[in-house]
Amino acid sequence: MVTQINGSVVKAFDILKLFDEDRNEVTTTDVATELDLNFVTAHRFLRTLEHVGALVAVAKGRYRLSYVFVDLGDRVTGGDLLGQTLQPLLNAITADLQEAAMATVFQSDMVVCIARAVSRRQLSVDIRVGSRLEAYCTAHGKTWLAFMSERQRAHYLDTVERLRFTRNTVVERATLERQIAEVRELGHAFNDSEREDGIRAVAVPILARGGRMIAGLSVFGPASRMTDEITQLALARLQHAARDAGGLLYGQIAAPSA
Amino acid sequence: MVTQINGSVVKAFDILKLFDEDRNEVTTTDVATELDLNFVTAHRFLRTLEHVGALVAVAKGRYRLSYVFVDLGDRVTGGDLLGQTLQPLLNAITADLQEAAMATVFQSDMVVCIARAVSRRQLSVDIRVGSRLEAYCTAHGKTWLAFMSERQRAHYLDTVERLRFTRNTVVERATLERQIAEVRELGHAFNDSEREDGIRAVAVPILARGGRMIAGLSVFGPASRMTDEITQLALARLQHAARDAGGLLYGQIAAPSA
DNA sequence: ATAGATATTTCAAATATAGCAATATATATC
DNA sequence: GATATATATTGCTATATTTGAAATATCTAT
């Protein structure tokens, strides 16, 4: 027999899970009917969640999530949990493929490296933790642009100065928007010498269960080594790593969906 | 007698509250000693929190918060909860002082209006929900700059093009940094014709319990009406409103500290 | 290999919880 | 304003769940 699980706590979190993107308020009647609880029991659980600061009563019998979850969420994302969590995954990919791998977040309209792995034969990779890259001409960047809100993306494209780094750099907005839509469709992005001549990359998103992009993962290297075959292999490894990341960030009880 | 509160749920949230900025991992022994629980009981609660997806085991007997709290936090901040929550507070301030009031968030290096109240005599206030303002020359903006992370602020000051809108616009970085430090010290910011001639404003931050700035609140109007006396009165009303906002966002069980 | 610390499971006593019933309050209708 | 209905809240108690001692298993340090 396994460890005894506390039923009350399970019910409390079942209530919290009723809140979703389309539902920011929940009533006692909702809880009783959807969780198959006695009305009085539902009432008592809601009052308990209010008591501990998890819910706020907006009217009698109607509740919404408290801002305390923003604080708890900040505790999860503060510090370097994400970089530390993803580093072993990057190490494994680089050990496997002998090409550099990187994890990024999107901050102040730039792609920022939060973890990287470099193989022994790559002594002069120019990326380090903290490095910032433009979004419009990188595989990471196109992934971020694909999965951010439309409003944030429109603002980015309205304001970014799109320099042409190489002959391959896409600067026309319409072309960019088509490429970004394709990345969203495929779930990954490629880069072939857009930011730096002779460098190819493939990137995938790590998505939160709520749909928001948490981080990007990529493999990159010289075009001479990043053949179509290696690139496809790298893509498969990155997709697998993104799923593993979900397990590490959320725990293993529910397989994250890509 | 009041509503029966479920002790198990209270204990579970007591465990979640052990995590703070300086502590992203908690052990079974920690929980047992700090919450005065039997070791077996602590063990069972931690396993239950892991079971519901709230915690992730990083090793045997050691846990951290799951990414599920980022999702719950996103549900709190998604939609327009903040704007809707703050609107009645702004309405009350404007009814009281007969000057315009505004709430903002900071997004993509700009101050963005999420709610505003305008009195009857102000038929031509140029600000509406969604309006974006520069940070370096507005009361709101200086409040945001004062309470954001040092790294984010340095990046903002490194990259923003500081146009001189009026004779009063401060564009020298050293002067700006001194002013921002003073705002952090005082807990509020003033603006006197920096962004637009003849317009004065006073702004305060709304801070999350974790310390992060959630929103800014301000009162603004023509210098001819925004006398020093009215400005001080506005400041007091804004500070009171910021405290009320805490009560609305977190629930009334703990008075928020400004 | 051994000692000590920590984690996990079994079992039963203790107690907190769940739900019925009653009462209070709110809302809709006339 | 009166009435009916729906929802919220409280009192009470039977019982289901939780708690903690004891035993066992596993891990870590020496």
Q: Are residues B112 and B185 in the same domain?
A: yes
pLDDT at B55 over 70: yes
Domain count, chain A: 2
What distance in Å separates the CA atoms of residue B4 and residue B10, rounded to the nearest whole number? 12
B27 touches strand C (CB under 7 A): yes
* Mean model confidence pLDDT for chain A: 89
pLDDT at A33 over 70: yes
**Candidates A11, A50, A70, partner chain B, best to mutate (most B CBs within 10 A):** A70
Looking at the domain assignment, is residue A256 inside a domain?
no
User: Does A118 lie in the same domain as A66?
Assistant: no
Residue B255 banded pLDDT, cuts 50, 70, 90: very low
- Residue B64: phi and psi, rounded to 5, are -135, 170
> What is the domain range of residue A67?
7-71
Residues in chain B within 8 Å Cβ distance of A54: 13
Whether the pLDDT of residue B258 is over 50: the answer is no
Q: Which amino acid is at A3?
A: T
- Assess whether A140 and A23 both reside in one domain: no
Residue A233 forms part of a structural domain:
yes
pLDDT of residue A210: 81
CA distances from B132 to B107, B124, B149 (A): 9, 17, 21
pLDDT of residue B257: 27
Strand C positions with any atom < 7 Å from protein CB?
6-11, 16-21, 26-27
Residue ending a domain, among A71, A100, A125, is: A71
CATH number for the domain harbouring residue A156: 3.30.450.40
Provide long-range contacts, Cβ within 8 A and 24+ apart, for A157-160. Answer: A159/A109, A159/B108, A160/A109, A160/A134, A160/A135, A160/A136
pLDDT tops 80 at residue A254 = no
pLDDT higher than 80, residue B56: yes
Q: What is the distance of C-alpha A184 from the center of its chain? A: 13
Round to a whole number and report the distance in Å from the CA of B242 to the C1' of D15: 48
| Residue B7 CA, nucleotide C17 C1', distance (Å) | 9
Final residue belonging to a domain, choices A37, A71, A105: A71
* Closest chain A residue to the Cα of B247, Cα to Cα: A56
Which residues have C-beta within 8 Å of that of residue A228, sequence separation ≥ 6?
none
pLDDT at position A7 over 70: yes
pLDDT, position B141? 96
Q: What are phi and psi of B113, to 5 degrees?
A: -75, 130
The gap between B211 CA and C2 C1' (Å) is: 50
Mean pLDDT confidence for A4-28:
90
The answer to whether A54 and A72 have CB atoms below 8 angstroms apart is no
d(CA A90, CA A88): 5
CB-side neighbour CA atoms (13 Å) of A134? 17
Could you tell me if B226 and B140 lie in one domain?
yes
How far is B42 from B30, CA to CA, in rounded Å? 9
Residues A85 and A55 in one domain: no
Same-domain status, B98 and B170: yes
- Tell me the percentage of chain B whose pLDDT exceeds 90: 65
Stated in angstroms, how far is A200 CA from C20 C1'? 70
Most distant CA atoms of chain B, gap in Å = 69
Asked if the C-beta of A29 comes within 8 angstroms of chain B's C-beta atoms, the answer is no
B46 shares its domain with B103: no
| More confident of the two residues A20 and A111 | A111
Element (H, E) at B80: none
Domain shared by A237 and A165, yes or no: yes
pLDDT digits (tens, 9 = 90+) for A46-79: 999 999 999 998 888 889 999 999 999 988 887 7
In B, minimum Cα distance to A21 occurs at: B75
pLDDT for position A257: 27
Nucleotides of D under 7 A from a protein CB: 7-12, 17-22, 27-28
Distance, CA of B195 to CA of A256 (rounded, Å): 48
Kindly state whether residues B29 and B124 are assigned to the same domain.
Answer: no
Which of A71, A98, A114 finishes a domain? Answer: A71
Interface of B with A in 65-124 (CB under 8 A): 65-79, 81, 108-109
Q: Give dist(CA B249, CA B258) in Å, integer.
A: 14
Q: Are residues A67 and A83 in the same domain?
A: no
Say yes or no: Cβ of A28 under 7 A from any atom of strand D. yes
Q: In which band, very low, low, confident or very high, does the pLDDT at A229 lie, cut at 50, 70 and 90?
A: very high
Answer yes or no: do A184 and A96 share one domain: yes
B35-46: per-residue pLDDT in tens?
A: 989 999 999 999
What is the domain-level CATH number for residue A14? 1.10.10.10
Q: How far apart are CA B113 and CA B135, in angstroms?
A: 12
**A83-140 residue pLDDT tens:** 988 998 999 999 999 999 999 999 888 999 999 998 877 666 678 888 889 999 999 9
The backbone torsions φ and ψ at residue B89, rounded to the nearest 5 degrees and listed phi first, read -65, -40
Query: If you measure CA to CA, which chain B residue comes closest to A58?
Result: B248
- The predicted structure's pLDDT at residue A124: 65
